[in-house]
Amino acid sequence: MGKDVIIACDFPTAETTLHFLDRFQGRKPFVKIGMELFYGEGPEVVRQLRRRGHRIFLDLKLHDIPNTVKKAMSVLRDLDVDLVNVHASGTVRMMEAALEGLTRPDGSRPLLVAVTQLTSTDQQALEKDLLIEKPMEDVVLHYALNARRAGLDGVVCSPLEAAKVHEACGPSFLAVTPGVRFPDGDAGDQKRVLSPAQAKSIGSDYIVVGRPVTAAEDPVAAYERCCAEFID
């Protein structure tokens, strides 16, 4: 899979999601299904989007004891999605268990990436809420190295951190980056943001874009702007 723009379909129902994607008329954007949609609609929404020909990032950010994560992953592997994730803070052992659960008997599996630190977390929250005294960048790189050690394919991080992740973990280790905003747009709750063009120049492999596309007056034009800046 090459560089691509993934639309975060943070909608409450399958109906709203399918209606939204109908606007793309024949184009099949790579989509992200998150907790809201998955918990609301269950696995059937994944199958529906699959049948329509979309590639899918199932963003459920698993974080539990290794055995539970392994078993949950073995359920997700049969949904035939392209990309799934866990929290790197669940430990190397948990990430290894996730990979085991995700791998099919024939050795194939979806890509697995780990969330380093959420792009809504800033240095102050890291220190005050999580009692982590290290600089954000050190924490992200440490978690990325843990993910690589566990055999994962990459991490979810801020585009601000993508270059450092590649430097530390190698160029083929994926940097999937939410926290993307147009320079003329609203950052909302995201704290560590870059534009699609900046994410490209800094080496993101996939950008995950939600509200700048889903809440745009013309979502198709906003998506195309992302693709033009990030891929072309």
180: nearest Cα among 18, 32, 11 = 32
Q: How far is the CB of 107 from ligand C5P (least distance, A)?
A: 28
Q: Which of 61, 70, 71, 191 is catalytic?
A: 61
Is residue 204 part of the contact set for ligand C5P (CB under 6 A)? no
Q: Pick the binder of ligand C5P from 4, 5, 7, 8 (CB under 6 A).
A: 8
157: nearest Cα among 212, 98, 114, 96 = 114
Please check whether residue 140 is in contact with residue 175, taking contact to mean a CB–CB distance below 8 angstroms.
no
Site string for ligand C5P, 106-145 (x = CB under 6 A): ---------x--xx--------------------------
Please check whether residue 83 is in contact with residue 57, taking contact to mean a CB–CB distance below 8 angstroms.
yes
User: Which residues, in sequence order, are bridge partners of residue 154?
Assistant: 113, 174
Is 61 one of the catalytic residues?
yes
Angle subtended at Cα 99 by Cα 105 and Cα 77, rounded to the nearest 5 degrees: 55
Tell me which stretch binds ligand C5P (CB under 6 A): 15-23, 45-53, 198-206, 209-217.
209-217
Cα gap 169→157, rounded to integer Å: 13
Structure tokens at 21: 């994607």
Is residue 192 part of the contact set for ligand C5P (CB under 6 A)? no
Binding residues for ligand C5P, rule CB under 6 A, total 17
Site string for ligand C5P, 139-178 (x = CB under 6 A): -----------------x---------------------x
Residues 60-89 that bind ligand C5P (CB under 6 A): none
Please check whether residue 62 is in contact with residue 73, taking contact to mean a CB–CB distance below 8 angstroms.
yes
Provide the strand spans (E) within 34-129. 56-62, 83-87, 111-115
Name residue 149's amino acid.
R
Q: Among residues 34 and 110, whose Cβ is nearest to ligand C5P?
A: 34
Q: How far is the CB of 196 from ligand C5P (least distance, A)?
A: 11
Is residue 208 part of the contact set for ligand C5P (CB under 6 A)? yes
Q: What is the CA radius of gyration of the chain?
A: 17
Q: Pick the binder of ligand C5P from 45, 97, 102, 209 (CB under 6 A).
A: 209
Cα gap 224→162, rounded to integer Å: 22
Q: Pick the binder of ligand C5P from 17, 146, 190, 198 (CB under 6 A).
A: 190
**Residue numbers at the binding site for ligand C5P (CB under 6 A):** 8, 10, 34, 59, 115, 118-119, 156, 178-179, 188, 190, 208-212
Q: Which residues are part of the catalytic machinery?
A: 61
